[in-house]
Every structure is written in C-alpha cells, then in structure tokens.
Structure 1
Amino acid sequence: MISPPEKDSLSEPVTDHLRTDYPLFSQTTTVQQTLETVRRTGIDEQVMYFYVVDDDLHLQGVIPTRRLLTAMPETLLGDIMVKRVVAMPDTYTLADACELFIMHRFLAFPVVDKERRVLGTVDVSLFTEEVFNFTEMQNVEDVYQVIGVRLSQVRNASPWQAVRYRFPWLMATLASGITCAVLAMFYQATLAQAIALASFLTLALGLGESVAIQSMSLAVQRLHGQLSSWQTGMNMLRHEVLTSLMLGIGTGSCVILAALALGVTPGLALTMGGSIAAAVTSAGAWGVIVPAILHATRRDPRVAAGPITLALTDISTILLFLHSARVMLSITAA
C-alpha cells in the first residue's frame, strides 16, 4: 500500500508512485475471458477501471468495472470500451495529478509516455489516508475535497508563494491599462471634438467589465469538473453571446436616452449606444472564451481568468467606443 504523499513531496514525479498491479487487456479479449483472468490473478479490490491496449501497450480504451460486469460474456472488450481516455502524462508531478483528479472527478488515471504506452496507474488512494466507500457519491466527493485541500495547502504555503503564483496574471491588468492609455491618446482629437464621449467612456468601461465578470463567473462554474471539448465551448459561447447581445441592446438604449436628455446630438447618442451594445456583447464573449481556453490548457481559471478577461474587455470597449465615434464624427463633418 502506497502511503499518501506529504505536502512537500507533491513536487515529485508521478512516476515514482505508480501502481503496477493493474490489468491490461486486448480489444479481442471477451468479457468472459477477462473475468476469468481477474478471478485467477486476484486483482486488487481497489482497481476501478480496466484498460485496453494493443500489442505494443499503446492505450486504446478503458472499461469501468460496472460495464464489464454487466456485459454479455461473449462480448469483445473492443465493443464496450470507452475510446476517449483521459490519461496522465509521465511528466506530471503529484501536484499536477491532484489537479487532474479535481478537474475530471475520476477515481484513477492511466499514466502514459509520449507515445501513449501505459506505464502504470494512479488512483485517489495515493492522496488520501482515509478509507472511502467509492460506491457512495458523498464519500467520493469527500475524496476530491481532501485532494483539493492538500493542493491548496501547497499553493498557499506562504505569502511569497501566493504572490509568485498570482502576480504574473496581474501583469495582464497592467498591460491593458497601459494599452488603454495609449489608445486614449491616439483618439485624443476625437475626445476633444465631443466632450460627451469622455463622460460616457467610464460608463462604457464599467458596463463591459460588469458583463465580463458575470459571464466569466458563470463559465468557470459550468467548466468545473467538465471535460474540455469544442462542442461544450461553442454551446457556452453561443448562449452567452446571445444573452450579452440582449443585455447590450438594453443598456445601449438606456445610454441613448440619457445622452439625448443631456443634450447630446442624436447621431452621437446613437453611436455611443450602439458601440456600448457591441462592447457589452464582446465582453460576454471574452467572459466565456478566456476561461474555456485556460480550462483546456489546464490553467486555473479562478485565478487567471479575471485579469485576462478584464484586460481584453477594456481594450475592446475603448476601441469600439472611440473608433465608432471617430467614424461618426468624420461622416458628420463631411
């Protein structure tokens, strides 16, 4: 039995903690032959998955224990295996393994080399001292909570480590602030032509950031524990863009009415309202795109998504707002 790693050892390679008492089977093996092998070899009761490989041990699929037990005896493993297998690269550390368990909510992962040859397995018992009944969902959730707590202890071991982890993402905010300042200087002549633009620019930025944060928070919640897929990301993006568009139309209409009430010319009022509607829509899109990309690349969207999303939102809002006004003013002057 492998003892759970201490906090300081989570930087160790996962290959130092592999289990090799696991079954590997061929696609042409039947369910009956597999069960006979299991009975004959006396496989550990903690084995949750059976892995299917080719002759060179390349990972081909996985079969959960329940699916194996309920299949007909003459069925081939290749017909019941799950072909899309989430595998753990042999370059991972134990901290990386923690994140993978939390993200996918599986009880075990095969560890593979760069050619996807199976080297061993890692299961949740590596990270927990407690004995859990894996047939009860509540206890399974307890496992992931324990893993998450231990990972957070590593991440937050000291204020200096927390700063090192979080500060690079704040550079996105710093970079966007400088970029926005440069853009404002570039459109200085446009701002000078219509003082109302400067008055409503802060409103445009505030609306964009609010929608971006809302969209990002919802996206992070939806992505938590989900497998990364193109279809999931596109569905989320489509839903959020439509929602943000309606929010943009509503807020843009309010801006138009407010601008007209303050004596702004109808053309400029319509331009500001339209650009704010576009900015709010783009903000909603950024709120989904950024967390989805971070999730797909195994970055923590809870920490990184905020600064990046707000940075992109501010830049796109200023460009849409000021460039639209510049075009409108040039048309009016002509």
Structure 2
Amino acid sequence: MVFHTFLNLSLDFSMATVVHAIFSLSFFQTLLFQRCPRYVQPQNLTQNLTSVSEFFLLGLSDDPELQPLLCVLFLSMYLITVLGNLLIIQAVTSDSHLHTPMYFFLSNLSLADIGFISSTVPNMIVNIQTHSRVISCEGCLTQMSIFILFGGMDCTLLTAMAYDRFAAICQPLHYTAIMNPCLCCSLVLASFLVSLLESQVHNLIVLQLTCFKDVEISNFFCDPSLLHDLACSDSVTNNIVMYFVGTIFSFLPLSGILFSYYKILSSILRIPSTGGKYKAFSTCGSHLAVVCLFYGTGLGMYLISAISQSPRKDVTASVVYTVVTPMLNPFIYSLRNRDIKRAMWKLLSKIISP
C-alpha cells in the first residue's frame, strides 16, 4: 500500500518535473543563445562573418513525391509510440499488482521514450508539411538539449532497471529492503539530473565554437555529433571534453548494466534446476532485449556515421535509433511480459466496455 501511494505520487512528480524542465530549458536556451557562433562563408574565411541565426536540415529525401508518404509514415510511427508508452504507464498505475520497483522504472522509461521521440519527429513532420527545412539557432540547440536529456535518461534508467534485476535475483531475501520507494525515486531523480547536466555540457561545448563552416545539417534533426563537425576549427580541447563526456555518460551506464548481468548470470548458473534457471532469466528477458536494441542501434548509428561517407545512410541509421527503437519498446515489454499483457487487457476492457 505504501509503495502504491508512493508510485502514483512519484509518477505524477516525474511527469510534472519533465514537462516543467522542457519549458524551463526552452526559456533558458532562448536567453542564453541570443548570440550563436558565427558562420564563415566558404569563399573567404576571413571576411563576411555573420552571426548564425538558423540552420538547414537536409531531411530524409529531396523527392517531392515521397513527402506525403514520409509524413503519413512518421506520423503513424509517432502516434504508435506515444499511445503504446502511455498505455504502459496507465496499465502500471491502474494495476496494484504492478506497483513494484521494476514497473516503476518501466513507467519512467516509457515517459522518457515519449520525450525522446517527441524531440525530433513532430518538428520533422511540420517541416515536411510546410516545405521548410529551416530551424533557428536557438531552436536547434534546444532540440539538441531535449534529445540528449531524454536519450541520457534512457541510458540511466536502463542501468537502474539492471540494478533492480540484480537485487531481485542475487539478493532475493533483501530485495524489499534494498529497492525501497525512497531509493527508486532517488535513482529516477538522479537519472534526470545527470542527463540534464550532460545536455548542458554539450550546449556549452557548442557555445565555445567561434564559427561554423556550413549551416547545412545532413539529418532530419540537430544531431549533436553533426553540429560539432560543422565547426570551423578543430578544437582539441572541445574534442577532448566531448569524448570525455560521452565516455562518462555512455560507457559508465553500460558498464553498470554489464556488471549487473555478469552477477545475474553467475547466480542463475548456480541454480540446480533447469526450470528455476529459466524462471529467473525470464524476468530479465524484456529488459535485456530493450538494452540490446537501444545500445545496438545507437552504436550502429555512430559506427555508420564514422565509416560511411553517404549522408543518406547516416539518416537511415538515425531513424532506426530515434524513431524505431522507442516504438518497439512497448511491444517488447507487452509481448514478453505476462503481467503487462494482463494489465493492458484489463485496462482496454475497461475503456471499451460502457
């Protein structure tokens, strides 16, 4: 009962905090980025210096006949993602059997996935409808901040979920004491604050750039790595800071996940019965599938960007990472988890029945 009340209050707090943070972040960015780095005309690198007021997103395709199809396709994917994640959040909050730490983290992960896809796809759909690829400097940096914020929350929440599975399998007798409501909320709050710090560090790195050699971004959103590549000079300090930040905020969560699953696998192998091993590992199946999908597509996106010289391949990899992955997460959890399926059927029956 205590965790039930705490769960509802925490989810309300999480949603309110994230929404407030987005509006506050947008206002903060507008004030901070009144003077963006300059754009250097490629014909003459010493003259015609002007302040960058906007960037141009190259988008997915230049073919005008494909634009309506792309609009319908991505609008459908966006709606499926939002509705799927909202269904998971509602199913968890409405079913008392799901008021546990694992599903509390899952609800927050669904909220982060909604924010993650909402940072890129709606703007792309508007650009397709208005036949415009222009995004202001402030809008670009704000989009980059929100993208990194929710992407970072995905990383850290997946790490918290791995720790939850570690505590459940390796310390079953002390699980309730370890994963108490206070710790669960602290982990979610820490996830948000760490991700917010990461997004602002990236923005500060961009603000240190003195000029850009181009204003065309070969993607459908303001990709942080592409924005850094547009810098006129190759600043060693900025690159060191950027890679250091990437290592801290990406490698450490992944290391925590790998260490948790190493301990989980060691504990499962010590279980004598095959049925016991399967039952223990089945509780990690959905989470492990989401981890592989998230980090696999993310790593693939940056490897393709580093190896390939084709902007279209980079865009395709970005679509998989930023659109397909958040859309598949609700299906993975709902199809592989009997508790979620039962709660969602119960919720849908309440909605459909008068």
TM range (shorter): under 0.3
TM-score, with structure 2 as normaliser? 0.24
Instruction: Flag the structure with higher helix content.
Output: 2
- Structure number with higher relative contact order (C-alpha < 8 Å, ≥ 6 residues apart): 2
Looking at CA atoms only, which structure, 1 or 2, has the larger radius of gyration? Answer: 1
